[in-house]
Amino acid sequence: MTIPVSISVNGRRYDREVEPRLLLVHFIRDVLGLTGTKVGCDTSQCGSCTILLDGVSAKACTCLAVQADGASVTTIEGLAGDSELHPLQESFWNKHGLQCGYCTPGMILASHELLRCNSDPSAEEIRHGLEGNMCRCTGYQNIVRAVRDAAETIQGGTS
Amino acid sequence: MFAPQFDYYRASSVAEAAALLEQHPDSKVLAGGHSLIPVLKLRLAAPSALIDIGRIDGIRGISEEAGRIVIGALTTHAEIAASATLQSGATALSEAAGMIGDPAVRNRGTIGGNVAHADPASDLPAVLRCLGAEFSIAGSSGTRTVDAADFFEGLMTTAVEEHEILTAISLPSGSSGQGSAYAKFSHPASRYAVIGAAASVTVADGVCSAASVALGGLVPAPVRAAAVEDALAGKALSAGAIADAARCVGDSLDDDEVLGDVYASAEYRSAVAHVWVGRALTAAAARCG
């Protein structure tokens, strides 16, 4: 059995026929070729597959593509504007919030969700908000600094 | 990991979903997918078809009806954690929902899927047992209501029959002088409950007039701790009285039933359960207004 789906990814609509068992993360990576979204643990614990589904964070390894039919997805490729990085991307760069970079797309989209819910988070709140995203390089210190820096940039403060 | 192949049908009403379940033997209900999809990927289940109820109108959201709070089965953990109605009327439930997984999981996982899956390490079953929840279950012949005491039958087993759908869960609205809380010993990696303790207490004239304590995580299905509840009756909820009552929790646990694993043995869980019961009771007592 295949099912027709129409999923908007980063503002562009894709109509495809998919197997019901196809995971959204594999739709994004293998069908559309957008490999910014990573597969880490594949058990909804590590957060490297985090995307925005209709504007809120979701783990794309624990969602079927058919469940996202008609939805709007944002991946790391869709976060930046035409010529400018998103403030979160700038801050992760400036504050060295990544080393190997594997967790970074998910970390940035989870941070996007955190700032959507709380535009001025404390370091403690950032750690709590990112508890579903694992980084095995940085020790998290610079990730927390990066999210805090992005919050200040978005609020128009000095960074 | 790839799930085994299955067919997929999207229902637009509860009646249609019930009909699809009857038409497709060995099918499973899909809502948020946060219990079912991991099970499929691990190939612990291989249903012939999934019946997606995720877009059915009318079984999502939180409302108050005749002294009870009604929660649609498709309501997400994030919505439950953020609900002012539940924060004041069923504090333990909103508190427990906010401890599930992480923000992205809470955005997608639903209360109906969670309790229909009935994972012993899940948080919500113990809270719903504690708060006296009722479960509305729909089938092709109509809807029936089941108490929490009868809903959770055992390890990953509930009163929902093969062709039925859980549509709503209702709770008594909190009363004056009542407070509730959930305390959880989380597994450090998965965040599932190694021990989950839910407590609800009512204080009248300075003493405990009603208490309900339920445990999850360390037992196949949530259990009430009657020995703890009895020990609190008529007592002022001092730190000493709570600690003494919490230590009775072992009397309500069947040693042959207590679960253990490589992280926490059954003996260890039994030995420390009183700590989490005490924490839940202490927080609940502080919320009696």
A41 and A13, same domain (yes or no): yes
Q: Is B102 on the interface with A (CB under 8 A)?
A: yes
The burial class, CB within 10 Å (0-12 / 13-18 / 19+), for B127 is: buried
Q: What is the mean pLDDT of chain B?
A: 96
- Alpha helices per DSSP H over A62-158: 87-94, 104-117, 123-129, 141-154
pLDDT score for A9: 98
Reply yes or no on whether the pLDDT at A113 is more than 60: yes
When pLDDT is averaged across residues A83-104 and rounded to a whole number, the result is 96
Pick from A59, A64, A117: CB nearest B105: A59
Contact A1 B52 (CB under 8 A): no
pLDDT-based confidence at residue B256 (cuts at 50, 70, 90): very high
When pLDDT is averaged across residues A89-110 and rounded to a whole number, the result is 97
pLDDT-based confidence at residue A157 (cuts at 50, 70, 90): low
Cross-strand partners of B70: B63, B170
Q: Out of A42-46, B83-87, B247-251, which region has the weakest mean confidence (pLDDT)?
A: A42-46
The CATH number of residue A142's host domain is: 1.10.150.120
Residues 6+ apart with CB under 8 A from A102: A38, A40, A48
Tens of pLDDT, residue by residue over B81-130, are 999 999 999 999 999 999 999 999 999 999 999 999 999 999 999 999 99
The burial class, CB within 10 Å (0-12 / 13-18 / 19+), for A5 is: buried
Tens of pLDDT, residue by residue over B172-204, are 998 899 999 999 999 988 889 999 999 999 999
pLDDT score for B174: 86
Would you say residue A136 lies in a domain?
A: yes
DSSP state, residue A78: G
Contact A59 B104 (CB under 8 A): yes
pLDDT score for A159: 43
A61 and A13, same domain (yes or no): yes
A53 and A29, same domain (yes or no): yes
Q: How many residues does chain B have?
A: 289
Contact B38 A43 (CB under 8 A): yes
- Rg (chain B; Cα; Å): 19
Q: Is B38 on the interface with A (CB under 8 A)?
A: yes
Q: Is B58 on the interface with A (CB under 8 A)?
A: no
Taking the C-alpha atoms of residue B240 and residue B5, their distance in angstroms, rounded to an integer, is: 57
Last residue in a domain, options A55, A78, A101: A78
Reply yes or no on whether the pLDDT at A93 is more than 90: yes
- Parse chain B into domains and list their residue ranges: 7-52, 62-172, 178-286
Residues 6+ apart with CB under 8 A from A19: A1, A2, A3, B5
List CB contacts (< 8 A) between A44 and chain B.
34, 38, 101, 104-105
Contact B8 A3 (CB under 8 A): yes
Contact A62 B33 (CB under 8 A): yes
A61 and A122, same domain (yes or no): no
* Residue A24 contacts residue A63 (beta carbons within 8 Å): yes
A30 and A74, same domain (yes or no): yes
* Residue A23 contacts residue A7 (beta carbons within 8 Å): no
Pick the CATH number of B62-172 from 3.30.465.10, 3.20.190.10, 3.10.180.10, 3.30.930.10: 3.30.465.10
Domain limits for position A95? 87-154
A93 and A146, same domain (yes or no): yes
The ipTM, to two decimals, is 0.95
Residues 6+ apart with CB under 8 A from A119: A151, A154, A155
List CB contacts (< 8 A) between A118 and chain B.
none
List CB contacts (< 8 A) between A132 and chain B.
101-105
Last residue in a domain, options A39, A56, A78: A78
Taking the C-alpha atoms of residue B107 and residue B55, their distance in angstroms, rounded to an integer, is: 15
Contact A47 B102 (CB under 8 A): yes
Would you say residue A159 lies in a domain?
A: no
A101 and A145, same domain (yes or no): yes
Contact A63 B102 (CB under 8 A): no
List CB contacts (< 8 A) between B12 and chain A.
none
Reply yes or no on whether the pLDDT at B69 is more than 70: yes
Residue type, B86: L
CB-CB neighbours of A15 under 10 Å: 8
A70 and A91, same domain (yes or no): no
Residue type, A91: S
List CB contacts (< 8 A) between A113 and chain B.
103-104, 107
Residue whose tokens read 């004041």? B88
List CB contacts (< 8 A) between B105 and chain A.
44, 59, 62, 132
A31 and A50, same domain (yes or no): yes
Cross-strand partners of B138: B143, B165
Rounded to 5 degrees, φ, ψ at B168 are: -160, 160
Q: Is B40 on the interface with A (CB under 8 A)?
A: yes
The CATH number of residue A16's host domain is: 3.10.20.30
Q: Is B108 on the interface with A (CB under 8 A)?
A: yes
Taking the C-alpha atoms of residue B138 and residue A18, their distance in angstroms, rounded to an integer, is: 31
- pLDDT greater at residue B190 or residue A6: A6
What residue of B is the nearest CA neighbor of A19?
A: B5
Rounded to 5 degrees, φ, ψ at A98 are: -150, 155
Residue type, B269: R
A68 and A116, same domain (yes or no): no
List CB contacts (< 8 A) between B40 and chain A.
21
In SS3 terms, chain B reads as CCCCCCEEEECCCHHHHHHHHHHCCCCEEECCCCCHHHHHHCCCCCCCEEEECCCCCCCCCEEEECCEEEEECCCEHHHHHHCHHHHHHCHHHHHHHCCCCCHHHHHHCEHHHHHHHCCCCCCHHHHHHHCCCEEEEEECCEEEEEEHHHHEEECCEECCCCCCEEEEEEEECCCCCEEEEEEEEECCCCCCEEEEEEEEEEEECCEEEEEEEEEECCCCCCEECHHHHHHHCCCCCCHHHHHHHHHHHHHHCCCCCCCCCCCCCHHHHHHHHHHHHHHHHHHHHHCCC
pLDDT-based confidence at residue A158 (cuts at 50, 70, 90): very low
A20, two tokens: 């019901």
Taking the C-alpha atoms of residue B155 and residue B89, their distance in angstroms, rounded to an integer, is: 29
Taking the C-alpha atoms of residue B265 and residue B160, their distance in angstroms, rounded to an integer, is: 31
Based on the structure, what is the number of domains in chain A? 2
Taking the C-alpha atoms of residue B122 and residue B222, their distance in angstroms, rounded to an integer, is: 10
List the 66-125 stretch of A: residues with Cβ below 8 A of B. 66-67, 110, 113-114, 117
A147, two tokens: 């999210």
Taking the C-alpha atoms of residue A44 and residue A98, their distance in angstroms, rounded to an integer, is: 21
A65 and A121, same domain (yes or no): no
List CB contacts (< 8 A) between B1 and chain A.
42
Write down the CATH number for the domain with range B178-286: 3.30.390.50
3-state SS, residue A104? helix
Contact B102 A132 (CB under 8 A): yes
Would you say residue A37 lies in a domain?
A: yes
pLDDT score for A156: 87
Pick the CATH number of B7-52 from 3.30.210.10, 3.40.50.300, 3.30.43.10, 3.40.50.2300: 3.30.43.10
Q: What is the mean pLDDT of chain A?
A: 96
Taking the C-alpha atoms of residue B287 and residue B289, their distance in angstroms, rounded to an integer, is: 6
Last residue in a domain, options A57, A78, A99: A78
A71 and A110, same domain (yes or no): no
Taking the C-alpha atoms of residue B9 and residue B32, their distance in angstroms, rounded to an integer, is: 15
Taking the C-alpha atoms of residue B23 and residue B163, their distance in angstroms, rounded to an integer, is: 9
